């Protein structure tokens, strides 16, 4: 539930007063890249998408625990083989999510388990929980489904929305990252409150702008 309606409406009024998305053009390039080449069976394409999205969103995959002693082409020798190895599973999931109407509400279990699938793959590559990179990467493949997680957005979402244990535990799937699950649920609450109070349904990208407050 929304913790403080006045604080929430102040934030929403500030968002609505900003007439344009400063990063619309740059983000549009990333959306178009993933729309035109959505799959992960081509190693060069897979490597390029991880590189471009990660670097653009300050979540580069080469920031890793196990970097010492590696001297090869990390993106093509390590990242690309891992991405192509999960391509059948990942691409099938993304296709299903994109085919679902209002996927953030109607395919939440699939969204959360897909985020966890990619997080696990990134962990095998880096030795780190690349929660933010997984969310950002998946967002550009399914813009209506995945909310854009990072530490700042998570902090601001916690300020706005409280969750009781029952809400979090309503998603009892095994393959879920609890931190992203709770962030996802808070974003859904922000979306629902905005629809109720303003008659406007926010996209995941718009929720990100509400949370960050300056874009």
Compute how many other C-beta atoms are within 10 angstroms of the C-beta atom of residue 178: 12
pLDDT exceeds 90 at position 8: yes
Instruction: Put residue 213 in one of left, alpha, beta given phi > 0 → left and psi -120 to 50 → alpha.
Output: left
pLDDT at 175: 87
Q: Is 168 helix (H, G, I), strand (E, B) or coil?
A: helix
Q: Residues 150-177: pLDDT tens digits? A: 999 999 999 999 987 766 666 666 789 9
* Residue-range domain boundaries for the chain: 5-212
Contact 46, 84 (CB under 8 A): yes
Q: Residues 101-150: pLDDT tens digits? A: 999 999 999 999 999 999 999 999 999 999 999 999 999 999 999 999 99
Q: How far is the CA of 45 from the CAs of 65, 153, 172, 203, in angstroms?
A: 25, 29, 34, 27
Read off the pLDDT band of 213 (50, 70, 90): confident
CA dist 4 and 8 (Å) reads 6
Instruction: Of 194, 118, 80, give the one whose Cα is nearest residue 209.
Output: 194
């Amino acid at each position: 539930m929304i913790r403080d309606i006045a604080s929430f409406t102040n934030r929403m009024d500030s968002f609505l007063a900003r007439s344009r998305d400063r990063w619309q053009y740059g983000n549009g390039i990333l959306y178009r890249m993933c729309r035109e080449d959505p799959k992960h069976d081509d190693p060069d394409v897979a490597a390029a998408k991880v590189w471009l999205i990660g670097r653009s969103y300050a979540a580069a995959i080469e920031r890793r625990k196990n970097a010492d002693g590696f001297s090869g082409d990390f993106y093509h020798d390590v990242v690309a083989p891992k991405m192509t190895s999960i391509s059948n599973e990942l691409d099938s999931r993304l296709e299903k999510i994109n085919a679902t109407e209002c996927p953030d509400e109607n395919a939440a279990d699939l969204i959360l388990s897909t985020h966890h699938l990619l997080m696990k793959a990134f962990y095998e590559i880096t030795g780190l929980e690349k929660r933010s990179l997984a969310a950002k990467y998946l967002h550009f493949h399914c813009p209506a489904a995945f909310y854009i997680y990072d530490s700042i957005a998570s902090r601001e979402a916690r300020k706005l929305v409280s969750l009781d244990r029952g809400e979090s535990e309503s998603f009892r799937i095994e393959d879920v990252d609890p931190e992203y699950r709770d962030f996802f649920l808070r974003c859904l609450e922000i979306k629902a409150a905005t629809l109720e109070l303003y008659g406007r349904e926010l996209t995941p990208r718009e929720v990100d702008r509400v949370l960050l407050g300056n874009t």
